[in-house]
Amino acid sequence: MAASSSAAASSSIVELDEAAALLDTATSAYFDDGDSAAGAAAAAFSWPVAEKITSTLTGNGQLRSLCTLMKVPKDYKTFFAHSKPACEAPKEGTDAICVYADAFDAGMRLPLHDFHAAVLRHYGLAPSQLAPYAWRYMAAFVLLCADAGVEPQLPVFQQFFSIVTNKGDARGWHHFKPYLQGQRRLFNGKMPRYAGWKSKFFFLQCPPATPWSCPTKWGKPSSASVCKPAVMTEAMRTAIEKLLDRAGNTGIDVVPFLSRRTLPVGRQTTLPLQLTPVKVESAAANSVAGMDQTRKRKSPEPVTPPPPPPQGSISAGEGSASATRGLHQLARMAEAELDRQEQELNATKNEVARLKKEHAAKEQELGRLGDELRAVKDAHNAEVFNLKEELQAANAAHAAEVSQLAEELEQAKNNHAVDIAQLGEERAAEVQAVKVQCQREIISLQHNSVIEQSKRYVMGLRDMRQLAVATYPDVIKPSDLQHKLLSRYPDQQGFTPQEGPLNE
């Protein structure tokens, strides 16, 4: 699962470079800028949340399996935490520190790489004060520097990462956060989530000849240590340019980048033996040189050995016994180193054999998939060819059908035009016949009306003639009162009207 990046999670942390810029009463609790002695300052520190967390690692098998898996050298002794919290200071003279199991999974290795130890010393933090994410970023930075051909430098690291801690009572644990604004990132991608990592811890005691090169007690960084260097040297600029060029425009996905690499580990240095000259001294030097050559192949980073303890007066007998013990110790260490390297070689051989087997299986699977792909392509091409032929036939049939329909449509249009013309002529003839019939009926009606009017007029003439004859019988004779219309219709006295046209 990817680490959460919600606003709630972001609000629970403090970016110490920003807090150092403010440095008020609230932010000063995250720093150790006092003038008191180191012991008094450490005693004044409190870690309320860390003090309440106990370890869930309680089985011997768990620790052995974990140390074997994470390649912890056999000369480091493991101890259960029991009821001790991770922040409890180790007892004086024990050389034991607290370590988290998930820190090894993220990128921590023993002996500590010089750069890892330098980071812890710079910030004044014990290894158990760094979250697993911090170890992952530091390991990736060391490997990227090796790829770019530059030495891992803390000032360069600070140009890309700020150190952050938890707010309030949860303070004490720290991790690194890439700068997101104004510059390119070296790494990208989501970090795996280590659920419950704060309760999976145990204690490790270093071998007497390889003391811890970092703080062993929990502490706080100074306000000056969390800020970017004020001066940018030419060497820093060159290193930054090479790292950015190696990382590319988008940065490197840190998880797969580390999964393909051997995590950085420091060289196991030994305290120099203060001996009087004896014959066995050259043999011890040869053993040390042989071990150095063996380890140089593993980790090429230079290591500055710790300063030698003050010399004391040693007698010749005591010197000889000390030299013998030193040789025995060197022999045991060389044997342990050879065993570890043999285990690594066997594991590498097994991994190579497994990868070859997987590669052969992948090649076989790839060949089978290639055959299936070719068969599918052939079937697809045949189907496409058939579909093209069917489409061409369908297009031809469609074109013929369209042509036939166009001809039928044209013929139908012509027939329609003929029918329209014929119907027009028939209608015109019918209209003409109706007009003639109407005219005849009108003429007949007019003729009948004229006849009726003529009849009424003749009847009036007769009545007037009869009245005149009756009034003046001696004066007027009926034969004297004649009209051409009266001759058309006979009267009651037997006069026969003359035939003639009405319009006369």
Q: Average pLDDT of 418-443?
A: 93
Q: How far is CA 498 from CA 421, 449, 458, 462, 492, in A?
A: 56, 21, 13, 15, 15
Distance, in Å, from the CA atom of 265 to the CA atom of 389, rounded to the nearest integer, reads 69
Is residue 357 one of the residues assigned to a domain? no
Query: Predicted confidence band at 328 (pLDDT cuts at 50, 70, 90)?
Result: low
One DSSP character per residue, 446-501 reads HHHHHHHHHHHHHHHHHHHHHHHHHH-TTT--GGGS--TTTTTS--TT---PPP--
Q: 9-68 pLDDT, tens per residue? A: 446 889 999 999 988 888 888 999 875 444 444 445 789 999 999 999 988 888 888 899
pLDDT score of 323 more than 60: no
| Minimum mean pLDDT range among 199-203, 204-208, 322-326, 372-376 | 322-326
Q: Which pLDDT value is given to residue 310? A: 36
Q: Average pLDDT of 292-321?
A: 39
pLDDT score of 255 more than 70: yes
Among 8-17, 351-360, 398-407, top mean pLDDT goes to 398-407
Residue 18, domain extent: 7-271
pLDDT score of 140 more than 70: yes
* Arithmetic mean of pLDDT over the chain: 81
Q: Which pLDDT value is given to residue 461? A: 83
Could you check whether the bond before residue 111 is cis, i.e. omega within 30 degrees of 0? yes
pLDDT score of 437 more than 50: yes
Q: Average pLDDT of 167-187?
A: 87
Is residue 36 one of the residues assigned to a domain? yes
Contact 175, 108 (CB under 8 A): no
The phi and psi torsions of 253 (rounded to 5 degrees) equal -70, 110
| Minimum mean pLDDT range among 56-60, 240-244, 476-480, 493-497 | 493-497
Q: 84-139 pLDDT, tens per residue? A: 999 998 887 778 999 999 999 999 999 999 999 999 999 999 999 999 999 999 99
User: How many domains does the chain contain in total?
Assistant: 1
Is residue 87 one of the residues assigned to a domain? yes
Is residue 213 one of the residues assigned to a domain? yes
Q: Which pLDDT value is given to residue 271? A: 47
Among 129-138, 189-198, 270-279, top mean pLDDT goes to 129-138
pTM, rounded to two decimals: 0.54
Contact 142, 266 (CB under 8 A): no
Distance, in Å, from the CA atom of 481 to the CA atom of 202, rounded to the nearest integer, reads 168
Q: Which helix (H) or strand (E) holds 145?
A: helix 132-148
Is residue 337 one of the residues assigned to a domain? no
pLDDT score of 495 more than 80: no
Q: Average pLDDT of 311-322?
A: 41
Distance, in Å, from the CA atom of 24 to the CA atom of 416, rounded to the nearest integer, reads 103
Question: What 3-state class would DSSP assign to 504?
Answer: coil
Q: Which helix (H) or strand (E) holds 77?
A: strand 77-79
Which tops the pLDDT comparison, 68 or 267? 68
Which tops the pLDDT comparison, 343 or 246? 246
**Residue 279's Cα: distance from chain center in Å?**
68
pLDDT score of 305 more than 50: no
Is residue 295 one of the residues assigned to a domain? no
pLDDT score of 74 more than 70: yes
The phi and psi torsions of 96 (rounded to 5 degrees) equal -110, 140
Is residue 41 one of the residues assigned to a domain? yes
Q: Which pLDDT value is given to residue 483? A: 73
Q: Average pLDDT of 301-323?
A: 40
pLDDT score of 347 more than 90: no
Q: Which pLDDT value is given to residue 223? A: 93
Beta strands in 352-428 (DSSP E): none
Residues 6 or more apart whose CB falls under 8 angstroms from that of 212 comprise 95, 97, 112, 206
Angle of helix 132-148 relative to helix 234-247, nearest 10 degrees, comes to 100
Q: Which of 42, 29, 39 is nearest to 169 (CA)?
A: 29
The phi and psi torsions of 310 (rounded to 5 degrees) equal -60, 140
Query: Predicted confidence band at 484 (pLDDT cuts at 50, 70, 90)?
Result: confident
Is residue 346 one of the residues assigned to a domain? no
pLDDT > 90 in the chain, percent: 53
